[in-house]
Chains A and B, each alone.
Chain A
Amino acid sequence: MSSFLSIDNVSRLFGPNLTTGEKIAAKLGSKVETRSVRAVSDVSLSVRKGETLGLVGESGCGKSTLGRLIAGILPPTSGSVTIDGKPVMESGTKVTTRVQTVFQDPFASLDPRMKVGDTVAEGPIAHGLTTKGAARDYVAGWFERVGLDPVWADRYPHQFSGGQRQRIAIARALAMQPDVLICDEPVASLDVSIQAQIINLFLELTRDLELTCVFISHDLSVVQHVSDRVAVMYLGRIVELGPVAEVFGTPAHPYTSALFGSVPKLVLDADELVHFETIDGEVPSPLSPPSGCYYHPRCPLASAQCSAQQPATQPVAELRAVACHHFEQQLAKASA
């Protein structure tokens, strides 16, 4: 499998931002939090050209951080991200325009004091993809591409609806002519009817422009709809990876299974009240993750081995991998 976007052993730690006063207090033995959070822990992924990888997990599992690491917004603490063999970041600075991001909240991601046309044109002008004189036509082309009227380029963000703003944000990302698009919950803050429009637009664009895409979402049905493969994250680690149909059909990790099981579904001809399985317990604090497998305190299949030893990522089937000591048991349960 030829890898286009490679994420190699990427980790990201967030240390506490201590003031000088707090540092002194900590030295004097006062209770100041000095531990770091490992938001993303030794993640390796490879995405083929033109493929869409879904990234799912609960809030706080590090999926947005991973998205930012891939997009070159945050430098990784260790490991590297490369596109077609070329690094995204060098010594903490983003050195490529080949990866662009669509942010979650289109009300926050557009500069309220800039005409939307200027927002879209800004990057391409700065990177020589168009000139100041030709920018209007260039922007108009991208506006049409995302289903916006080019005459709206002179308006300000507050004059648009959420769906239109997200189209503008998509136009801004695409105007940089990227190869890789990171979508960080791009439809989470939109109405359901608008979500469908944006997802269809997104599917159309990734196909026509042959974009490689990382689609981050906590909405499993959206991920199922848009992705070729899906990666499931838990507490900063990838616990399961595989083609969408297989992962959704027969989850190989107990967490994946529980995550899918907790999604409310419409059950027709059920007489009694439908009960949804929730995952027992809370997500552990990432400041002090459990020993061994991070999921073992909540896992129905947990054994002594799980609390002692961190499971290695192992292949299950072609293109499928899972990090669980008891994945065979889980697979048997899932197929039954």
Chain B
Amino acid sequence: MKTASTPLGRFWAEFRENKVAVVALVVVILMMLLALFAAFVSPQNPYDMANLSLMDSRRPPGFVGSGGYTHLLGTDPQGRDLLSAIFYGLRISIQIGLAAGIVSLSLGTTLGILAAYIGGRVETLIMRAVDLQLSFPAILLALVIVAMLGQGKAQLIGALVAAQYAYFARTAYGAAKAERGKDYIEAALATPMSGRLVVLRHLLPNCTPPLIVVATVQIANSISLEATLSFLGLGLPVTEPSLGMLISNGFPYMMSGRYWISFYPGVALIILIVAINLVGDQIRDQFNPRLRK
């Protein structure tokens, strides 16, 4: 076998050793594929009102509906096939989680690295603002912002970014501050090279390991935060049901024996978040030299 010599190759070789993390990664990828191809794998298009029949509402798993196919996970109060609704819900949840994660990653990293590189007043200003924000619970901030901006995908992503960029800023700042003092940065600056080039070519790449870890965890967090907001009725409009809204829809029937309406979307949400977190944990362990064997 060819010995891996690139950093990525070595990383993957080590990652493969943890079977749990590999399974989790497969689950994450599988769920992303299901979300991406929801329209092809779902037995029913849950958004198409013509497909829905109220006769099929709140039916238990295994019920054969008027459409002629088996509802493997039952149906919800609108008569939607839950399995299909979960696939479409996954799509929206992952979309929002990824978008919020990527935007807060870019914003937070830019702010954190600028603070560490420039120093002085800029550093104080940015980092104190971040500290101030971190002293509020993320859910409270997101609630306030969604309440102010109203419902909609963009608004929701905005709220999630505002609640989460601070974690990225903090991490990027810490990493960049440590790297900033190292000789290779000074050597590059002494060439001389412009500060912009040194930041992009040397500082940023060397700050990525902790940022990747925070990014995986925060994507899982934004998915669950979005689910929480949707559950509280502050997330997306009813026409775009995410996993959180599906759980919320079934909540009134929880105690009347129709557990599946909330239960299966909940299971899907938990599997997704746990899988992302397991992958994130493995990445974190690999970047932490003290935890290495």
A binding-site residues for B, Cβ under 8 Å? 19-20, 71-73, 93-95, 97, 100-101, 103-105, 108-114, 122-123, 126-127, 155-156, 159, 169, 172, 176
Write out the residue numbers on chain B whose beta carbons fall within 8 Å of the beta carbon of A122. 188, 191, 193, 201
> Given A108-B184, A122-B201, A155-B5, A100 and B190 touching (CB < 8 A)?
yes
Shortest C-beta distance, A201 to chain B (Å), equals 19
Contact of A126 among B7, B193, B202, B206 (CB under 8 A): B193
14 example contacts (A-B, Cβ-Cβ < 8 A) are as follows A19-B124, A93-B192, A100-B191, A105-B183, A108-B182, A109-B184, A110-B184, A113-B7, A114-B205, A122-B201, A123-B188, A123-B191, A126-B191, A176-B191
Q: Looking at B7, B184, B201, B202, which has the most chain A CB atoms within 10 Å of its CB? A: B184
Point out the residues of chain A lying under 8 angstroms from B191, CB to CB: 97, 100, 122-123, 126-127, 176
Report the minimum CB–CB distance from B146 to chain A (whole Å). 35
Cross-chain pair count, CB within 8 angstroms: 65
Inter-chain CA distance A29–B166, complex, in Å, is: 36
Q: In chain B, what residue has the closest Cβ to A175?
A: B191
What is the CB-to-nearest-CB distance from B182 to chain A, in angstroms, rounded to a whole number?
5
Cross-chain contact B124 with A101 (CB below 8 angstroms): no
Between A95, A104, A113, A126, the greatest number of chain B beta carbons within 10 A of the residue's beta carbon is seen for: A113
Of A97, A105, A109, A112, the contact of B192 (CB 8 Å cutoff): A97
On whether the beta carbons of B201 and A156 are closer than 8 Å, the reply is no
Interface residues on B, range: 10 to 19
A236–B193 alpha-carbon span in the complex (Å): 29
- Other A-B pairs beyond A95-B192, A109-B186, A113-B7, 12, CB < 8 Å: A19-B124, A93-B192, A97-B192, A103-B183, A111-B205, A113-B205, A113-B206, A122-B188, A122-B191, A123-B188, A156-B7, A169-B187
Given known A112-B206, A113-B7, A159-B5, contact A73–B184 (CB-CB < 8 A): no
Q: Are B5 and A109 in contact (CB under 8 A)?
A: no
Q: Which residue of B lies closest to A93 (CB)?
A: B192
Q: How far is the CB of A114 from chain B (nearest CB, A)?
A: 7
Contact of B188 among A104, A111, A113 (CB under 8 A): A111
